[in-house]
Chain A
């Protein structure tokens, strides 16, 4: 090592130690700092590791290369190659009683002094050390030393004279190498081949050579410039990397004529190339003056026969620190870990992460593979429900039968978890729509029923003739305000908004009571005020303030309200119009807006976005003239459509506008479940025909399938077919007679007056106990059940031992369900079959077909038969 460029080496056995060498050798100890503080004097290597300096050795000047003794030794024995070609064994330990004591200080001296370029310990015979030297005339450049060899005294004597060194040192000089190779050449890099103890690969001047120590006169070589840094892949012993300037060559020793691969050339010369010892096919390279380590991931098995396809190599780069990197070293055992050192000897320890591959399971958990390990990650249950992903929400809602309450439609928002105000609004709207459609149909059938589902926008538009306003007195105040006379359409709109109940009565009393009961004091007070009853509004606020959950500040608001004065320039009016904006509750805010507004201009109420759409619309219906109302509703509808706000369904109804609105809701949330169920609430058919609606429905069904919620999907399909009979699936399987080939059901349906209904054959499970056991077409008997040997068409006798089964329980629960046990069933492969109940109980214990001598594994062929619906095991 020339003084400026430090190198770094991990200890091969004591994996928490490494050595940094430049002009001296420094041994460090690495500690994890995950659970402890950084100790004084230690250097931080990474977020969770630090190094402590253990010892420094400066006995060996002019270091050119260092190699760590491969045997386990507590003394940290190192071989150091020097500028004069000598190789010195030195140690960084303090314990001088070790068994390697004799080795320390030994020197191996070449005949002629020249630079030692490289050192390599033999991995099989740990006492062999190969040294590669520069060229010196016809001398050998590769010397293999046996570190245990005894010195030859006569040479020592000679050395003593020449070097006049101290007694102790001279006794340790070795000058006779075990082997001498590479005559008349220079050696730049060396590595032992793990295939055989006696094979040595050397990067010589302008060629790569393989020396076989069993026959030193011969060598295998190939001419190339890429002779530096030869290194063997620890996972494929025939794969070797070497480099020259900016280019790395990969060799296959079985096909040594030319490199099998050259990696993309770097603009700057390379300084180090190393295979990762803990992972296959990962090569790290470093160029001069760079802070990047380039990694080449070669995930292909090398083949000696030339294959045309170019192997895929993934190139990556990592930047362990901001400074230029002088050298790096892979950790011998920790996965993909390396340590780098910069020219000013700052070090950093880091791990090259594997590329993580990811996959989402349909059941909202994420799986990923990192290195050799697999991890599964799931959303935590106890989480704030608002933060949950829609996939999780939809799954939970599907389990709670969300959307399927067709009687108390509003209850669906409770099934959805009662947490989303938009869903609440939506289901109340649908509830009212259903209620008033029925109401209308009763009064005058076929008249306006469909109009209710068309939403307030259409209802208001349909209103004929002008609505006139008239003065109404405030109760408890000496004041009059213009209120529109409510015609039929406006009453219907108010009913849909929920302000007034069924019938012609326009009293908001019941609505106020329900609001008060739910603790919505501010809203109740606002509605009371909009119905010109300031006294009741104040009363409600007082009530709110005195209740447990209520806010005491409501009293203050009530007080402010009671100070109402009609005078235009009063202080009250001035203060209220400025201070109302500071009120947090939107309903309190609009109350004062209403009171301070000029007659006929209610923008402060109508455009307060935090007030529920239904309240604003009801307010508009009461106070706006026809043209104003139409304009307002139009504007609000577009706003809702743009935002995908489900409250807007009140305005659009289940029309094309409603589908547009729902589309932007789906765009925003991905909630196709709500979209599907909403559109299936009594929508007229042309909306269901909309491509988008069909697409949501199909996707929701797919989703249920993917979750294995087959029962839920069946329920959904039944629900759907009620509204959209065209969606009913056609019969997919027919049972045909063995003799005449006619479908036994087909023959009945085609000639209805001749045969009996299909259901009577027990196929569709009619409760009537049918005894028909022959084909209606040709009167030949139907086939026999393979198990009970009775002709099909007869009801099943009780299944022995099947009483505990799930099917049994299901059937006994709901007798109305088809008697599935009586159904025909057969294997598509061997064509054997019988009563479904018998077959199920048979295959619970058997793998093979019940027909003797038939070895068909019927049930295993049925890929879906083995799947268990997920709902049955869900809570």
Chain B
């Protein structure tokens, strides 16, 4: 009996030391960012002055995409009309306006027509009116065409194919022309609150913090912007929006937001393959019926002497369940389909990028207003999934936010001392096409969640479109994307084809095309709440999905130097600010915070 106890104790001892080797509690420290390791308790920061310079502005806009720019322009237009002195300040984290913009894009001009009716005379880069739509269901070796006709959400007559980054750059010039201040290279990092809990403004990020979290010689504190109204227009899954939504419980009554990841490439194609104005979409292969997603191929008009340009990309719904899915590799193998491949033969890939997109729609809308500010554009989630369009709603919401903000400022209700809630913004959204569109299409995306998968979704969406969304029920998305990932043991790894370097490419050469870069000596901005979770849980249960869903190779599981077990290596410099990791991490351990301003991709007209 005693021997039995002793020997089983020895067994337990052997097992625990084996466990300790495989899952050592001594994890290499990964996260050094001050949001996880506060500086007020850190002895290295004892003598550093944390004072910040402060500036007052009337309207502060965080994010220089279509929503933010439209808000800035509209606010200044109203100021001009009323002869009022109103300061409008816009902060954008990219080094240049348009630098972090990535979209298909096929844009409905309805919002721009309202904002700047003479956009054509002013030289807006919208030069490709849509001439035809094609839609098809891909099978492994074939394609079943699906007709597109007026009335369907993907009928694009009257819309334009654009390089959204160039359009945003043009919008920033328009914003400056009407007197808005646009500050690229400035990352909004911290929220500032008044004593009554209302939002006072935003502080830009500190610079000059070393990788280990200590202050460098050239450490400089960010500056504070105190505003009467702050409009958050950070695009899909904004990091400040995440904080604001938590602080003011904006998502209390909303379903968890649902997302997709969109990857995109720009190709110079052979002239015979170039059909300017053609908008083409596919669903089906290479995704299985239970994974939402599809492709786009948009042909752009080009100037005389320029090479024929085609924008192509692939979206994978982030509610996918198979942890072995790599959205990047799905995109690459999609290009090998016999119907698709000829398009790219003889062509040259000239750009690559990726960004998460918001797909939740109506059920996932947060309350878009709070004391001191509001949310505009994709950060609130106004993308219309069946139409595959969000830019027009983003711009319209930016304009409505500006209108509400200006009403409150000009009436004197919104002041620096008192944060008011711009509730009229929510009313305006409700009365506008933004909410009407979203309500009408609310049931399409969730209809893909049944066991009928893709086919159920297409069938139901056709039905809902015919009903114009008037069916009296609202389907649910069924929970957050990150919770839907299933353990790796329920699936088999996917055999993706090797990149051929001509039509399909490897991840790292693709990342090089994004032009992304960050100051190397700074704390990784992909922060982990718990440094031990990636190996223990993400790798242990899900076989490290972050190494597969990150479109920039930020996350790598590498062998420990001591040779036992693995550790997570975060290559923060590669990050292209797509936000997918923050969304899809099954442990919700990754918190994306903003790196030093100016870092990130250098997209040119993406």
Q: Do A and B bind each other?
A: no
